[in-house]
């Protein structure tokens, strides 16, 4: 059976991404014995024409559409990617009668609703390696696809709850060779980093978060040697950096340290190492030592708020004291640090904003801050349940059109003004909207030409300064 996987993501902001999920699915299907191709639309100038050409050439029996992003999660300038995915579906249909199977993190958020919008019959929820191969086998044998764990049929009755996919033990997954599926030189040329997972799953229960819905609540760990083999492969492929893309980085601590140690032994010198989901609770001196040995160059710390009221309402599992301890310990990490804060969560008031701003003011002047306004509400999260019970969200709302919660006790303008008059340097602050700025790609090319190592947010103070002078 011939299988065409289409990696549909074309977003290049805040950085160009290798389509890891699509590659995982292509590998799993190939190892299971299918004839698999992957069409990567990331650099395509004419995606519709490229899809038609690939479909006509391969004449696949099954087309797997990998849909990573639903929207840009930016409450200030929301943008949905679904219309462009619909064009891809139409292009497939125009030249083929192959069954289209939807999968990817966007699909997993609201499979039934998105599948209906795209006019497709079959979706796979969550991790797809086991479910997709099971589905291919079922289709081959003429069995009912609906019986495969993780598969959702669009015409199932609304009261049929989507059931989770069968998560694979990472050790049982095929070892990834991303270069088999995508043109790594092309990604290296635009300074994309090599995405590496050290584990899947997250044990925490933050009220707004969908990550455990995608990967489950149990940490499933990759062998640290396998992690370092992928890091070595990144060097061989000419990539300038690796990026840990775990839902949460740093926990369980022993395993995170073992992965850092393993990378430290094998990573070619001069390569950038980064992660953007470092959990404050993980920031112990032992982990920081290991991260220094591994050569971390940049980290994002998911602080979210400096107020205990808000941290509790989000069920973050750490307190403002933990945050202060993390901040003190992180001073010995030789990497640029970006603190991520989300304003407007339930319980946010001027007082709680003040506490977060106070924390920002205590940061070293070299640290950077990323601000998001509003909490994106997703189906099947505790936040959505709470808002439905408070009458703030219609229970029928499928949330495919992005909805953001903002505490009624404060406004984004007020928060911005409080930050603006704080002593934290304005040039060290970015917003999600800034990342999608039209000048961002140009600035990235300039930084690359100047020989800077990615990710380029390290240069944020200089970029902000230039933007203020040029008024752009």
Residues that bind ligand SF4 (CB under 6 A): 202, 204, 206, 209, 211-212, 247-248, 279, 302
Both tokens assigned to 30: 């190939």
Both tokens assigned to 421: 């008059």
**Smallest gap, in angstroms, from Cβ of residue 228 to ligand SF4?**
24
Q: Where are the extended beta strands (E) located within 86-193?
A: 99-103, 122-124, 151-153
Does position 418 bind ligand B12 by CB under 6 A? no
Mutual orientation of helices 47-58 and 82-95 as an angle, nearest 10°?
Answer: 30
Residue among 275, 281, 323, 331 nearest 298 (CA): 275
Does position 444 bind ligand B12 by CB under 6 A? no
Does position 105 bind ligand B12 by CB under 6 A? yes
∠ CA 66-72-78, nearest 5°, is 135
Q: How far is CA 250 from the centre of its chain?
A: 16
Does position 15 bind ligand B12 by CB under 6 A? yes
CA–CA distance, 126 with 103 (Å, rounded to integer): 8
**Smallest gap, in angstroms, from Cβ of residue 224 to ligand B12?**
18
Whether cis (ω within 30° of 0) applies to the bond prior to 14 is yes
C-beta of residue 187 within 8 angstroms of C-beta of residue 20: no
* Residues in contact with ligand B12, shown as a per-residue x/- string from 172 to 211 under the rule CB under 6 A: ---------------------x-x-x------------xx
Residues in contact with 353: Cβ distance below 8 Å, sequence separation at least 6, in sequence order: 307, 343, 410, 414, 415, 418
Nearer to ligand B12, 128 or 280 (CB): 128
Stretch that binds ligand B12, among 105-113, 181-189, 231-239, 457-465 (CB under 6 A): 105-113
CA–CA distance, 254 with 260 (Å, rounded to integer): 10
Interacting partner of 25 out of ligand SF4, ligand B12, none (Cβ under 5 to 8 A depending on kind): ligand B12
Place of tokens 């839902």: 247
* Residues in contact with ligand B12, shown as a per-residue x/- string from 246 to 275 under the rule CB under 6 A: -x----------------------------
Interacting partner of 212 out of ligand B12, ligand SF4, none (Cβ under 5 to 8 A depending on kind): ligand SF4
Nearer to ligand B12, 217 or 331 (CB): 217
∠ CA 402-247-327, nearest 5°, is 105
Nearer to ligand SF4, 281 or 373 (CB): 281
**Smallest gap, in angstroms, from Cβ of residue 17 to ligand B12?**
4
Nearer to ligand SF4, 125 or 248 (CB): 248
- Helices and strands per DSSP (H, E), number in the chain: 19, 17
**Smallest gap, in angstroms, from Cβ of residue 99 to ligand SF4?**
33
Place of tokens 């700025």: 437
Residues in contact with 321: Cβ distance below 8 Å, sequence separation at least 6, in sequence order: none
Applying the rule CB under 6 A, the residues between 283 and 322 that interact with ligand B12 are: none
Nearer to ligand B12, 36 or 357 (CB): 36
CA–CA distance, 237 with 253 (Å, rounded to integer): 29
Does position 73 bind ligand B12 by CB under 6 A? yes
Does position 458 bind ligand B12 by CB under 6 A? no
Concatenated DSSP letters for 262-320? HHHHHSPTT-EEEEEEE-GGG--HHHHHHHHHHTEEEEEEEEE-S-HHHHHHTT-S--H
Interacting partner of 377 out of ligand B12, ligand SF4, none (Cβ under 5 to 8 A depending on kind): none
Nearer to ligand SF4, 25 or 202 (CB): 202
CA–CA distance, 130 with 168 (Å, rounded to integer): 6
Interacting partner of 61 out of ligand SF4, ligand B12, none (Cβ under 5 to 8 A depending on kind): none
Total number of residues that touch ligand B12 (CB under 6 A): 47
The residue nearest ligand B12 at its CB is 103
**103, 134, 162, 201: which one contacts ligand B12 (CB under 6 A)?**
103
Stretch that binds ligand B12, among 240-248, 308-316, 444-452, 456-464 (CB under 6 A): 240-248
Residues in contact with 134: Cβ distance below 8 Å, sequence separation at least 6, in sequence order: 148, 149, 150, 151, 166
Interacting partner of 14 out of ligand B12, ligand SF4, none (Cβ under 5 to 8 A depending on kind): ligand B12
Place of tokens 């602080």: 303
C-beta of residue 241 within 8 angstroms of C-beta of residue 295: no
**Smallest gap, in angstroms, from Cβ of residue 397 to ligand SF4?**
22
**124, 258, 267, 430: which one contacts ligand B12 (CB under 6 A)?**
124
Applying the rule CB under 6 A, the residues between 209 and 228 that interact with ligand B12 are: 210-211, 214-215
With left for phi above 0 and alpha for psi between -120 and 50, is residue 238 left, alpha or beta? left
**21, 145, 250, 306: which one contacts ligand B12 (CB under 6 A)?**
21
Interacting partner of 248 out of ligand SF4, ligand B12, none (Cβ under 5 to 8 A depending on kind): ligand SF4
**Smallest gap, in angstroms, from Cβ of residue 444 to ligand B12?**
12
What residues make contact with ligand B12 under the rule CB under 6 A? 9, 11-15, 17, 20-22, 24-25, 64-66, 68-74, 101, 103-106, 108-109, 124, 127-129, 132, 193, 195, 197, 210-211, 214-215, 243, 245, 247, 276, 432, 435
């Amino acid at each position: 059976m011939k299988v065409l996987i289409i990696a549909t993501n074309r977003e290049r902001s805040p950085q160009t991404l290798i389509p890891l999920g699509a590659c995982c699915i292509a590998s799993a299907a190939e190892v299971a014995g299918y004839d698999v191709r992957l069409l990567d639309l990331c650099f395509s100038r004419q995606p519709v024409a490229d899809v038609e050409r690939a479909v006509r050439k391969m004449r696949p029996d099954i087309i797997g559409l990998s849909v990573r992003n639903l929207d840009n999660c930016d409450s200030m300038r929301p943008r949905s990617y679904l219309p462009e995915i619909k064009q891809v579906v139409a292009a497939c249909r125009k030249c083929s009668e192959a069954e289209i199977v939807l999968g990817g993190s966007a699909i997993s958020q609201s499979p039934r609703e998105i599948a209906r919008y795209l006019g497709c019959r079959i979706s796979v929820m969550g991790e797809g390696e086991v479910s997709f191969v099971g589905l291919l086998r079922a289709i081959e044998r003429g069995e009912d696809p609906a019986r495969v764990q993780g598969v959702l049929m669009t015409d199932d009755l609304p009261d049929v709850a989507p059931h989770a996919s069968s998560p694979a033990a990472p050790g049982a997954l095929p070892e990834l060779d991303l270069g088999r599926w995508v043109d790594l030189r092309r990604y290296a040329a635009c300074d994309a980093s090599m995405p590496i997972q050290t584990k899947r799953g997250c044990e925490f229960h933050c009220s707004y978060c969908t990550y455990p819905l995608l990967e489950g609540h149990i940490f499933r760990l990759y062998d640290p040697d396998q992690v370092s083999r992928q890091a070595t492969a990144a060097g061989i492929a000419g990539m300038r950096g690796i990026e840990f893309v775990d839902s949460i980085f740093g926990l369980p601590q022993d395993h995170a340290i073992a992965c850092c140690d393993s990378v430290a032994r094998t990573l070619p010198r001069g390569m950038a190492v980064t992660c953007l989901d470092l959990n404050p609770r993980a920031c112990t001196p032992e982990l920081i030592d290991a991260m220094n040995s591994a050569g971390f160059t940049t980290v994002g710390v998911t602080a979210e708020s400096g107020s205990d009221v808000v941290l509790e309402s989000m069920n973050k599992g750490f307190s403002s004291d933990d945050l202060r301890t993390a901040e003190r310990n992180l001073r010995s990490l030789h990497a640029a640090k970006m603190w991520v804060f989300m304003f407007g969560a339930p319980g946010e008031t001027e007082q709680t904003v003040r506490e977060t701003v106070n924390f920002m003011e205590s940061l070293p002047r070299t640290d950077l801050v990323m601000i998001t306004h509003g909490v994106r509400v997703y189906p099947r999260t505790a936040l959505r349940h709470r808002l439905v019970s408070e009458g703030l969200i219609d229970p029928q709302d499928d949330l495919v059109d992005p909805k953001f919660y903002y505490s009624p006790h404060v406004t984004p303008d007020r928060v911005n003004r409080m930050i603006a008059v704080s002593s934290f340097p304005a040039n060290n602050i970015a917003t999600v909207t800034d990342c999608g700025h039209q000048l961002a790609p140009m600035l990235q090319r300039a930084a690359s030409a100047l020989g800077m190592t990615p990710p380029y947010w390290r240069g944020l103070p200089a970029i902000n300064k230039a933007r203020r002078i040029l008024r752009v």
